[in-house]
């Protein structure tokens, strides 16, 4: 699994790619949780790219610390949820985690 994590801004979309090879049958779900605990403030699209790879793209609309919760067949993947700090401005620092 590859996730870019860190400090992003409201003007940037964030792309996460997940590899679920060997996980068996199941469906991934991604929930973006904003600083207020709301799950409907970030526009998010989850695409099946084939060969057990899924791409999630979202655009945050609220400043503050967000959580990205990733489940596979209803079970949280290791290290989920992930913390992402969102702010105003143009700075975008990404960190690749595996």
State the average pLDDT for the chain.
77
pLDDT tens digits, residue range 23-47? 788 888 889 899 999 998 777 788 8
- What local confidence, expressed as pLDDT, does residue 76 receive? 92
CATH at 34? 2.60.40.10
pLDDT tens digits, residue range 2-29? 444 444 555 566 777 777 877 788 888 8
pLDDT tens digits, residue range 64-76? 888 989 898 999 9
Q: Which domain holds residue 80?
A: 3-97
Domain count of the chain? Answer: 1
The sign one gets for the Cα dihedral 7, 66, 62, 10 is: positive
Cα–Cα distance for residue pair 83/65, rounded to 1 Å: 7
- What local confidence, expressed as pLDDT, does residue 81 receive? 92
Cα–Cα distance for residue pair 84/81, rounded to 1 Å: 10
pLDDT tier for residue 89 given thresholds of 50, 70 and 90: low
- Whole-structure pTM value: 0.73
Q: Which residues of 6-23 are buried (b: 16+ CB within 10 A; e: fewer)?
A: bebbeeeebebebebeee
């Amino acid at each position: 699994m590859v996730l870019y994590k860190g400090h992003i801004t409201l003007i940037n979309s964030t792309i996460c790619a997940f590899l679920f090879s060997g996980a068996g049958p199941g469906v991934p779900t991604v929930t973006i949780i904003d600083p207020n605990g709301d799950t409907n403030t970030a526009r998010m699209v989850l695409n099946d790219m084939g060969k057990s790879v899924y791409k999630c793209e979202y655009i945050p609309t609220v400043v503050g610390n967000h959580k990205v919760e990733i489940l596979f067949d209803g079970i949280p993947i290791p290290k989920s949820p992930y913390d992402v700090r969102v702010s105003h401005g143009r700075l975008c620092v990404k960190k690749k985690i595996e």
